[in-house]
């Protein structure tokens, strides 16, 4: 199985800050990576697919980059509604696997 | 917009079988563009993919769960189902059904159910 490792596990930031989350795959997955946002008591929401493609309806302050084993999710200007847990997920092969999550907290 | 809705018991006794159904509305489960999946999340923990079923009935399960998991599909009802046998407390989780896009370069879980909490306890 492909292992997905996110860093950091948590980050404290203020509204307006730029936040970067990293995801590393245990083997190359080309660009088959997705990012999700999860708020308490809610299902995850797809933000980014194919490493850098923005899902319809997702604000443009979210962006993704990377290929192979190293990927990044960037929130350019953090908004109050962005405080949540973010997960990466590899879509290269089955079984699908997720990172352990990164909690974005209010500073 | 396609919607998914999980249903089933919220409490299951240890050693028994957990059974959940996901109903797909505003879209057809018979599309070849998707893998219909189950994902779970233990309280306070991360996401664990369980397996998928394709409209034709083909399945793939996570290897560590394979001996206890069955996913089935009923295209006439636009539903797919999950069974987990011999449950223990470790199977306590929120269970999500989700649609995994299988077209072009867009592989991702784009539609999720709201999730249903299943507790394993006597």
Distance from CA of B109 to the nearest CA of A (A): 7
Taking only the tens of pLDDT, chain A with its 107 residues reads 999 999 999 999 999 999 999 999 999 999 999 999 999 999 999 999 999 999 999 999 999 999 999 999 999 999 999 999 999 999 999 999 999 999 999 88
pLDDT at A45: 98
Q: Return all residues near A16 (Cβ < 8 A) that are at least 6 apart.
A: A77, A78
pLDDT at B41: 98
Q: What dihedral angle (degrees, nearest 10) is formed by the CA atoms of B77, B26, A39, A29?
A: 80
User: Kind of pairing, strands A53-54 and A45-49?
Assistant: antiparallel
pLDDT band at residue B7 under the 50/70/90 scheme: very high
pLDDT at B21: 98
Asked if the C-beta of A94 comes within 8 angstroms of chain B's C-beta atoms, the answer is: yes
Average pLDDT along chain B: 96
pLDDT at B35: 96
Residues of chain A neighbouring B96 (CB-CB closer than 8 A): 43-44
pLDDT at B103: 78
Please list the residues that pair with B98 across neighbouring strands: B37, B112
Residues of chain B neighbouring A91 (CB-CB closer than 8 A): 100, 107-108
pLDDT band at residue B1 under the 50/70/90 scheme: very high
Testing the interface with B: which of A48, A94, A99 to mutate, by most B Cβ within 10 A? A94
pLDDT band at residue B105 under the 50/70/90 scheme: confident
Residues of chain A neighbouring B63 (CB-CB closer than 8 A): 1, 95
pLDDT over threshold 90, residue B98: yes
pLDDT at A90: 97
pLDDT at B46: 98
Q: What dihedral angle (degrees, nearest 10) is formed by the CA atoms of B25, B30, B31, B37?
A: 70
Give the rounded percent of residues in chain B with a pLDDT score beyond 90: 94
Measured between CB atoms, which of B51, B63, B110 is closest to A46? B110
Q: What is the DSSP string of B71-109?
A: EEEETTTTEEEEEE-S--GGG-EEEEEEEEE-STT--SE
pLDDT at A40: 96
Q: What is the DSSP string of A21-80?
A: EEEEESS--TT-EEEEEE-TTS--EEEEETTTEEPTT--TTEEEEEETTEEEEEESS--G
Sign of the alpha-carbon dihedral angle for B107, B108, B112, B116:
positive
Distance CA A95, CA A86 (A): 20
pLDDT at B102: 83
With CB atoms and an 8 Å threshold, state whether B63 touches A91: no
Q: What dihedral angle (degrees, nearest 10) is formed by the CA atoms of B49, B51, B53, B57?
A: 180
Each residue's pLDDT tens digit, B17-58: 999 999 999 999 998 899 999 999 999 999 999 999 999 999
Mean pLDDT across B98-111 = 89
Each residue's pLDDT tens digit, B47-63: 999 999 999 999 999 99
């Amino acid at each position: 199985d492909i292992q997905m490792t996110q860093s950091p596990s948590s980050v404290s930031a203020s509204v307006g800050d730029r936040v970067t989350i990293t995801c590393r795959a245990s083997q190359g997955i080309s660009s088959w990576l997705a990012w999700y946002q999860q708020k308490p008591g809610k299902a995850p929401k797809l933000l980014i697919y194919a490493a850098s493609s923005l899902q319809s309806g997702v604000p443009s302050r979210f962006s993704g980059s990377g290929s192979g084993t190293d990927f990044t999710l960037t929130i350019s200007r953090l908004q109050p509604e962005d405080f949540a847990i973010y997960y990466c997920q590899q879509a290269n092969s089955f079984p699908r696997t997720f990172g352990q999550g990164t909690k974005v907290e209010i500073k | 917009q396609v919607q998914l809705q999980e249903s089933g018991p919220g409490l299951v006794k240890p050693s028994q079988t957990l059974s959940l159904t996901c109903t797909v509305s505003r879209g057809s489960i018979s599309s070849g563009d998707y893998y219909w999946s189950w994902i779970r999340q233990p309280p306070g923990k991360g996401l664990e993919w369980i397996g998928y079923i394709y409209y034709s009935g083909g399945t793939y399960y996570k290897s560590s769960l394979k001996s206890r998991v069955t996913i089935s599909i009923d295209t006439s009802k636009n539903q797919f189902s999950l069974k987990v046998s011999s449950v223990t407390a470790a199977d306590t989780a929120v269970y999500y059904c989700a649609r995994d896009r299988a077209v072009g370069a867009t592989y991702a879980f784009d539609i999720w159910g709201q999730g249903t909490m299943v507790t394993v306890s006597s």
